[in-house]
Amino acid sequence: MKRRKLDPAAATANFAKGVDDRFQAATPLRGLLNKVFPDHWSFLLGEIALFSFIVLLLSGVFLTLFFDPTMKEVAYHGSYLGLRGTEMSGAYESALNLSFEVRGGLFMRQMHHWAALLFMASIVVHMARVFFTGAFRKPREVNWVIGVVLFLLGFFAGFTGYSLPDDGLSGTGLRIASAIMLSLPVIGTWLSAAIFGGEYPGELIIGRFYIAHVLLIPGILLALISVHLGIVFKQKHTQWPGPLRTNENVVGERMFPRYAMKQGGFFMAVAGVIALMAGLFQINPIWLFGPYRAAEVSSASQPDWYVMFMDGLVRLMPNWQIYFGDYSLPPLFWPAVVGLGALFTLPMLYPWLEARKLKDTRTHHLLQRPRDNPERVGIGMMALTFFIIATISGGNDVIADKFHISLNAMTWAGRIGLLILPPIAYYMSVRICLGLQQHDREVLAHGVETGIIKRLPNGQFVEVHQPLGPVDDHGHPIPLEYAGWVVPKKMNKLGALAPAVKGFFYPVEKPADIPVSPAPISSGEREEISSKS
């Protein structure tokens, strides 16, 4: 029998045919290859979160191979001399072994931790982008809510992970968590007893946090992230207004090859930044914290940054306790339970609140420049200011210590700042937005300032404006409609001057050429001039 020669092209075609016979993949695949995505730097912020989540999953799986979530007491006999012979929980011992006995284990641990910080940081930055550009409006309200839930889940994933090594610092955090549970009215002691399996700290909590941290929360996170992306895919990405762009189309580049390559490259860049930080910056040196002991504590005890706002609110809360006969409501309840709850539910409701206020039931696929909705920017800045002050107050003892400020003064500054700075931020950002709006309208109505000053016959000086559109019979520009996008405000944007030099490290405009000294004037020319006069 004659052996048939293998033809790669035919084999591939055959394979593809077989796939399509079974899954009817050709048409949807073409749709995927051709899908158009708009391009803007701010659309990439959410990707940072997605990519750091992937790094978290990969590094986290590695860590589970070595971590042992037991609270049984053991004596440490590893290579870290500073703890040798110390009694500690099995969880802490395995976290130490992971750091010191596993080749590259410390690097993976630090990568996991930095990726977690980056995950939460990029979620916040991404959320701010979505909020200030109005990307949460109909039809994307549900995706906004999912985003807020993702932050909340990240918060709990982070807290449970931070607690797992059972070291001195995280144990302090766990103690505060138990106090927050206790502060709930009526059910507080029951809730704490249920979660800790009896009296704090018990011997179960690390195991319970472990399963929450490696299975329950990441499972939900993964599911919700998939839904989040699926909805973005289905609804197609929002875009900025601009030439050719309408509410009914998407202007950008096809998914393959350019957009997908950008995504792939950006993933590598995000992973690279995480790896660099994990290698160069020490994070959470648990070996210095020692095993958790209820009597031991360190000054500057803080949670990771995304929990710090809550800790800050707790620090700033005055000592107001409410008594109901024999029962009482501790002050911890307000910032930690009510505050946390409000900080998550209010943003969730915001899309509907805004739509209701503006009586806006339309569908929006075009983004709004922040200046075009001053009220939203004001509210956002107010919330952001509140969050930032709370976060700073979460580290107010470090600031007090390192900048030699009184700790008590820091607390008071935080208390007062929390009340007066958000309204100021609201007022200022609304005014700034209105001012920017007005300037846009002014340029559209009168044209771009040219910098040329003209003196009128009556002695008055006026600046000459370059109209952006046609002019009427008197030479006055006909006012233009605002299109929701950048209005050119400099002559070089109109091509009247040399284009601005692009780049971070160059001046915005090219320096003027140094005047070259004129060539020696020949005597003939001179004569010519004199003869003319």
Partner 1 sequence: MTSDTPARRRFRVFSRRPGAPSRARRRVGAAVRMLAALALAGGVYTAFTPGAFAEDNTQLSTAAQQGKELFDNSCISCHGRDGQGVQDRGPSLIGVGSASVEFQVGTGRMPMTRQEGQAEQKKPQFNTDETKQIAQYVQEIGGGPQIPAGSLVDDLKENPESLARGGELFRVNCTSCHSFTGAGGALSSGKFAPSLHDATAEQIYAAMLTGPQNMPVFGDNQITPDEKREIITYVTKQLQENQDSGGIFNLGGYGPATEGMAIFLIGITILVFTSLWIAGKS
Partner 2 sequence: MSTAHHGGTGTPVDVNDPKLTRFDIVKEGLRRDDIEIVTYESQFQGANSKAEKRVVRNISLLFIISGLGALAFVVFYIIWPWRYELGNNRSDYFTPILGGTLGVSLFALGIGILAWAKKLLPHELSIQQRHGDPSSDEERLITGQTMMYVADELGVQRRPLLKGAIAIGVAPLGLAVGAPLVGGLIQNPHKDKRPIMYHTGFDKEANGGKPVRLTREDGSPIRPEDVSTGGQLTVYPGIPGGATNKYADSPTLLIHLRSDDAATARAAADSDKNGRNKGSMWGNYVAYSKICTHAGCPASLYEQQTNRLLCPCHQSQFLITDNAQPVFGPATRRLPMLPLSVDDEGFFVATSDFKDTVGPDFWERP
Residues 266-295 that bind partner 1 (CB under 8 A): 266, 269-270, 273-274, 277, 279-285, 287-290, 293, 295
285 binds, options partner 1, partner 2, none, Cβ within 5 to 8 A by partner type = partner 1
Q: Please report how close the Cβ of residue 304 comes to partner 1 at its closest, in angstroms.
A: 5
Amino acid (one-letter) located at 450: T
Q: Is residue 41 at the binding interface for partner 1, with CB under 8 A as the rule?
A: yes
Backbone angles phi, psi at 80, to 5 degrees: -80, 105
Tell me, residue by residue from 388 to 407, as one string, x for binding to partner 1 by CB under 8 A and - for no binding.
---x--xx-xxxxxx-xxxx
Which of 265, 341 has the CB closer to partner 1? Answer: 265
E strand or H helix that includes residue 12: helix 8-23
Dist. CA 506–CA 475, nearest whole Å: 38
- Confirm if 238 and 40 have CB atoms less than 8 A apart: no
Of 124, 110, 108, give the one whose Cα is nearest residue 49: 124
398 binds, options partner 1, partner 2, none, Cβ within 5 to 8 A by partner type = partner 1
Cα-based distances in Å from 339 to 6, 308, 378, 453:
68, 13, 20, 57
Dist. CA 447–CA 444, nearest whole Å: 6
Of 372, 366, 143, give the one whose Cα is nearest residue 239: 366
Tokens of 153: 């889940």
355 binds, options partner 1, partner 2, none, Cβ within 5 to 8 A by partner type = none
Q: Is residue 244 at the binding interface for partner 1, with CB under 8 A as the rule?
A: no
Q: Is residue 492 at the binding interface for partner 1, with CB under 8 A as the rule?
A: no
441 binds, options partner 2, partner 1, none, Cβ within 5 to 8 A by partner type = none
Among 299, 319, 523, 531, binds partner 1 (CB under 8 A): 299
- Indicate the DSSP class of residue 459: S
Q: Please report how close the Cβ of residue 36 comes to partner 2 at its closest, in angstroms.
A: 4
Residues in region 421-450 near partner 1 by CB under 8 A: none
496 binds, options partner 2, partner 1, none, Cβ within 5 to 8 A by partner type = none
Q: Is residue 385 at the binding interface for partner 1, with CB under 8 A as the rule?
A: no
Which of 462, 508 has the CB closer to partner 1? Answer: 508
Chain-centroid distance, C-alpha 26: 37
Dist. CA 447–CA 325, nearest whole Å: 71
Of 267, 332, 291, give the one whose Cα is nearest residue 83: 291
CB atoms within 10 A of CB 416: 12
Among 86, 437, 450, 466, binds partner 1 (CB under 8 A): 86
365 binds, options partner 1, partner 2, none, Cβ within 5 to 8 A by partner type = partner 2
Q: Please report how close the Cβ of residue 76 comes to partner 1 at its closest, in angstroms.
A: 8
Q: Is residue 49 at the binding interface for partner 1, with CB under 8 A as the rule?
A: no
| Burial zone of 359 (CB within 10 Å; 0-12 exposed, 13-18 middle, 19+ buried) | exposed
- Confirm if 129 and 370 have CB atoms less than 8 A apart: no
- Confirm if 44 and 269 have CB atoms less than 8 A apart: no
Q: Please report how close the Cβ of residue 439 comes to partner 1 at its closest, in angstroms.
A: 24
Which of 100, 482 has the CB closer to partner 2? Answer: 100
Among 215, 294, 353, 409, binds partner 1 (CB under 8 A): 409
289 binds, options partner 1, partner 2, none, Cβ within 5 to 8 A by partner type = partner 1
Which of 270, 382 has the CB closer to partner 1? Answer: 270
Q: Is residue 48 at the binding interface for partner 1, with CB under 8 A as the rule?
A: yes
Tell me, residue by residue from 106 to 145, as one string, x for binding to partner 1 by CB under 8 A and - for no binding.
xx--x---x--xx--xx--x--------------------
391 binds, options partner 1, partner 2, none, Cβ within 5 to 8 A by partner type = partner 1
- Indicate the DSSP class of residue 66: T
β-strand partners of 195: none
SS (H, E, C) 388-427: HHHHHHHCHHHHHHHCCCCHHHHHHHHHHHHHHHHHHHHH
E strand or H helix that includes residue 96: helix 90-100
Q: Is residue 50 at the binding interface for partner 1, with CB under 8 A as the rule?
A: no
Residues in region 175-234 near partner 1 by CB under 8 A: none
472 binds, options partner 1, partner 2, none, Cβ within 5 to 8 A by partner type = none
Backbone angles phi, psi at 267, to 5 degrees: -60, -45
Q: Please report how close the Cβ of residue 354 comes to partner 2 at its closest, in angstroms.
A: 20
140 binds, options partner 2, partner 1, none, Cβ within 5 to 8 A by partner type = none
Which of 113, 371 has the CB closer to partner 1? Answer: 113
